[in-house]
Homo-oligomer: A and B are copies of this chain.
Amino acid sequence: VSEFIYGIDIGGTTIKIGLFSKLGTLINKWEINTNTTNFGKNILNDIATFIKSNEVPLEKVIGYGFGVPGPVIDTTVLNCVNLGWNQVDIKKELSTVLQNENIFVANDANAAALGETKNGASKGFKDSVMITLGTGVGSGVIIDNKIITGSNGAAGELGHIKLIHDNGLPCGCGNNGCLETVASATGLKNITCHLLNDSKKISTLKCSKELNAKMIFDAANNMDELAITAIDRFTYYIATAIQIITVSVNPEIVVIGGGVSKAGEPLLNKIINHFKNIGFSSVKDTKIVLAKLGNDAGIYGAAGMVKV
């Protein structure tokens, strides 16, 4: 009988491979390097080779879930700049070599959102949204325990909500004023640099290439007023994204993850305070919590998509 599930999170640097029981318990996990040369042509082969060489025979595997850093429709990735991919149908590419048709694919932020519902901060909630604050802003919308992908795989692209309508900064997507330009690690740096250029406040910070989110949090902890103001604006923008999502899909819980969320409870409390001020009356009590699974959210969510 088949008893195992693989959850695989393909990132631009490493591929995380998780082996799960039928019930979703993580049994073992590995990391292999992502070979992005030659338009990422070897990535799927490398994964298949790893899995075939593993001690679990293929016939014992119920199915495979994949998280990928790009938009997905069904089992097809539309494009993945980080991997060098254009359109790739992962199921089509792997079903023969893995001798399995039970293959599911999701955008990595969507997979992470599902992962947190399986074994993390949103476990037990059927409607949730996860916002991942890293270099950019990723997010995933889960309704009725399922990832919402949307008709172009763009559901949960909250990082590209146009939030700033006058003089917004350019975003990687080609627009300007996107949430991502003010609510990511880069966004916090953008806000800080703007304040440094614009105000006469004394600060220990300098707008330079080296300036990063951690330095700004540290300065705020040391009572640097400009850093405190920057973080106040930064958390207001995140709260605004939550305001929007709570009147759009009205989840039970919002999970904040990603590298920036390592700033922990103090960051979370600032977001919650802003949200209490601007949230729509009937959703003001929406739970807002920190993610729990860290880098494992992706493999949990990838495995969680597999039909048992």
Contacts and interface: CB of A to CB of B under 8 A. Distances in A.
Given A157-B250, A162-B240, A152 B283 contact: yes
Interface residues of A, number: 40
Contact of A282 (B71, B156, B250, B252): B71
Contact of A250 (B154, B173, B251): B154
Interface string A212-246: 00000000000000000000000000001001111
A184 interface: no
Interface string A249-290: 111100000000000000000000000001011110010000
A56 interface: no
A282 B154 CA distance: 7
User: A157, A251, A280: which has the most chain B beta carbons within 10 Å?
Assistant: A280
A281 B173 contact: yes
Copies in the assembly, this chain: 2
A212 to B, nearest CB: 26
Interface in A46-100: 71, 78
Contacts of A124: none
Nearest to A250: B150
Contacts of A252: 151
A248 B151 contact: no
Interface of chain A: mostly helix, strand, loop or mixed: loop
A247 interface: yes
A122 to B, nearest CB: 12
Contacts of A157: 247-248, 250, 280
Interface stretch (A33-41, A141-149, A192-200): A141-149
A273 to B, nearest CB: 15
Contacts of A22: none
B240 A282 contact: no
Contacts of A281: 173-175
A9 interface: no
Given A240-B165, A244-B244, A127 B143 contact: no
B243 A245 contact: no
11 contacts: A143-B148, A148-B249, A150-B251, A154-B250, A154-B282, A155-B250, A156-B248, A157-B248, A161-B243, A161-B248, A162-B244
